Amino acid sequence: MKQHTSLPRGTRDFGPEVMMRRNFILDNIREVFTRYGFLPLETPAMENLSVLEGKYGEEGDRLLFKILNSGDFLRKSSIEDRKESSSLVSKITDKGLRYDLTVPFARFVASNRHNLALPFKRYQIQPVWRADRPQKGRYREFYQCDADVVGTKSLICETEIVLMINEVLQKLGVTDFSIKVNHRKILEGVCEFMGTPGQLSDLSVGIDKLDKIGWEGVKKELGGKGFSEDSIEKLATILKDGQSREKINSILTGTSASDGFEEFNSMKEMLSSFELENDHVQFDISLARGLAYYTGMIFEVIIADSGVGSVSGGGRYDDLTGVFGVEEIPGVGFSFGIDRLYDAMEHLDLFPVDDIKATEVLIVHFDDECFRYGLGSLKLLREAGIASEIYPDSTKLRKQLGYADKKGIRQVIIIGSEEMKTGNLTLKSMETGEEKSMGVNEIIRTLTTRNG
Amino acid sequence: MKQHTSLPRGTRDFGPEVMMRRNFILDNIREVFTRYGFLPLETPAMENLSVLEGKYGEEGDRLLFKILNSGDFLRKSSIEDRKESSSLVSKITDKGLRYDLTVPFARFVASNRHNLALPFKRYQIQPVWRADRPQKGRYREFYQCDADVVGTKSLICETEIVLMINEVLQKLGVTDFSIKVNHRKILEGVCEFMGTPGQLSDLSVGIDKLDKIGWEGVKKELGGKGFSEDSIEKLATILKDGQSREKINSILTGTSASDGFEEFNSMKEMLSSFELENDHVQFDISLARGLAYYTGMIFEVIIADSGVGSVSGGGRYDDLTGVFGVEEIPGVGFSFGIDRLYDAMEHLDLFPVDDIKATEVLIVHFDDECFRYGLGSLKLLREAGIASEIYPDSTKLRKQLGYADKKGIRQVIIIGSEEMKTGNLTLKSMETGEEKSMGVNEIIRTLTTRNG
Q: What letter represents residue A428's amino acid?
A: K
Percent of chain B residues past pLDDT 90, beyond the cut: 82
Query: Which CA distances in Å does B401 have to A117, A394, B417?
Result: 11, 63, 18
Give the length of chain B.
452
What pLDDT does residue A451 have? 61
**Residue B434 carries which DSSP code?**
-
Distance in angstroms (rounded) separating the CA atoms of residues A284 and A267 = 15
Lowest-pLDDT choice from A21-35, A267-281, B237-251? B237-251
Contacts of A68 in chain B (CB under 8 A): 65-68, 89, 92-93
What are the pLDDT digits (tens) for B266-313?
999 999 999 999 999 999 999 987 667 899 999 999 999 998 889 999
Nearest chain A Cα distance for residue B153, angstroms = 8
Q: What letter represents residue B332's amino acid?
A: V
Query: Which CA distances in Å does B398 have to B366, B373, B413, B414, B427?
Result: 10, 20, 13, 12, 16
What pLDDT does residue B1 have? 42
What pLDDT does residue A211 have? 82
- pLDDT confidence of B354, banded at 50, 70, 90? low
C-beta contacts of A268-277 below 8 A and 24+ residues apart: A270/A155, A270/A156, A270/A159, A270/B372, A270/B375, A271/A159, A271/A162, A271/A163, A273/B372, A273/B375, A273/B376, A273/B379, A274/A159, A274/A163, A274/B375, A274/B379, A275/B379, A276/A163, A276/A166
Enumerate helices (H) and strands (E) in chain A, giving the number of each. 17, 16
What are the pLDDT digits (tens) for B332-348?
999 999 999 999 999 99
Percent of chain A residues past pLDDT 70, beyond the cut: 97
Nearest chain B Cα distance for residue A141, angstroms = 7
CB atoms B2 and A325 under 8 Å: yes
Q: Find the helix packing angle between B229-239 and B200-207, rounded to 10°.
A: 50
CB atoms A89 and B72 under 8 Å: no
CA closest to A125 among chain B residues: B19
In this model, does residue A2 exceed pLDDT 80? Answer: no
In this model, does residue A270 exceed pLDDT 80? Answer: yes
Neighbours of B5 (CB within 10 A): 21
In this model, does residue A372 exceed pLDDT 80? Answer: yes
- pLDDT confidence of A358, banded at 50, 70, 90? confident
Is B189:B257 a contact under the CB 8 Å cutoff? yes
What pLDDT does residue B2 have? 46
What pLDDT does residue B209 have? 85
Is B431:B410 a contact under the CB 8 Å cutoff? yes
Q: What is the DSSP string of A256-305?
A: THHHHHHHHHHHHHHHHTT--S---EEE-TT----TTT--SEEEEEEETT
Facing residue for B157 by CB, picked from A23, A376, A392: A392
- The answer for residues whose C-beta is within 8 angstroms of residue B114's C-beta and 6 or more apart is none
What pLDDT does residue B3 have? 59
Neighbours of A287 (CB within 10 A): 24
CB atoms A392 and B154 under 8 Å: yes
What pLDDT does residue A323 have? 86
A319 touching chain B per CB within 8 A: no
Nearest chain A Cα distance for residue B216, angstroms = 37
A237 touching chain B per CB within 8 A: no
Cis peptide bond upstream of B352, omega within 30: no
Exposed/middle/buried for B398, CB within 10 Å: 0-12, 13-18, 19+?
exposed
What pLDDT does residue B357 have? 64
Distance in angstroms (rounded) separating the CA atoms of residues A416 and A389 = 17
Percent of chain A residues past pLDDT 90, beyond the cut: 82
Q: Which of residues 103-162 of B touch A (CB under 8 A)?
A: 107-108, 110-112, 117-119, 121-122, 127, 129, 131, 140-141, 149, 152-154, 156-157
Query: CA angle at residue A147 from A142 to A152, to 5 degrees?
Result: 150
What are the pLDDT digits (tens) for A155-188?
999 999 999 999 999 999 999 999 999 999 999 9
- Using alpha carbons, select from A100, A141, A74, A339 the residue that is nearest to residue B98: A141
Give the length of chain A.
452
Consecutive H or E run containing B300: strand B297-303
Contacts of B387 in chain A (CB under 8 A): 34-37
Neighbours of B357 (CB within 10 A): 17
Distance in angstroms (rounded) separating the CA atoms of residues A375 and B269 = 11
More confident residue, A205 or A422: A422
Strands A425-429 and A435-438: antiparallel
**Domains along the sequence of chain A with CATH:** 16-38+99-347 (3.30.930.10), 358-451 (3.40.50.800)
Q: Find the helix packing angle between B257-272 and B156-171, rounded to 10°.
A: 50
What pLDDT does residue A291 have? 64
Contacts of B143 in chain A (CB under 8 A): none
In this model, does residue A357 exceed pLDDT 70? Answer: no
- pLDDT confidence of B205, banded at 50, 70, 90? confident
What are the pLDDT digits (tens) for A91-133?
999 999 999 999 999 999 999 999 998 999 999 999 999 999 9
What are the pLDDT digits (tens) for B414-447?
999 999 999 999 999 999 999 999 999 999 999 9
This prediction has a pTM of: 0.93
CB atoms A154 and B393 under 8 Å: yes
A4 touching chain B per CB within 8 A: yes
Lowest-pLDDT choice from A89-98, A233-242, B60-69? A233-242
Distance in angstroms (rounded) separating the CA atoms of residues A267 and A261 = 10
What are the pLDDT digits (tens) for A373-397?
999 999 999 999 999 999 999 999 9
**Can you tell me the mean pLDDT for A16-39?**
95
Facing residue for B393 by CB, picked from A12, A112, A152: A152
Lowest-pLDDT choice from B201-215, B276-290, B377-391? B201-215
Q: Find the helix packing angle between A184-194 and A200-207, rounded to 10°.
A: 110
**Can you tell me the mean pLDDT for A65-94?**
96
| Strand, coil or helix: B384 | coil
In this model, does residue A295 exceed pLDDT 50? Answer: yes
Distance in angstroms (rounded) separating the CA atoms of residues B266 and A368 = 13
Distance in angstroms between the alpha carbons of the first and the last residue of chain B: 52
Contacts of B131 in chain A (CB under 8 A): 70
- The answer for residues whose C-beta is within 8 angstroms of residue B40's C-beta and 6 or more apart is A14, A16, A19, A20, A23, B30, B122, B123, B124, B125
| Strand, coil or helix: A430 | coil
A50 touching chain B per CB within 8 A: yes
Residue A32 main-chain phi, psi, to 5 deg: -65, -45
CA A130 to chain centre: 16
B393 touching chain A per CB within 8 A: yes
Exposed/middle/buried for A72, CB within 10 Å: 0-12, 13-18, 19+?
exposed
What pLDDT does residue B76 have? 95
* Mean confidence (pLDDT) of chain A: 93
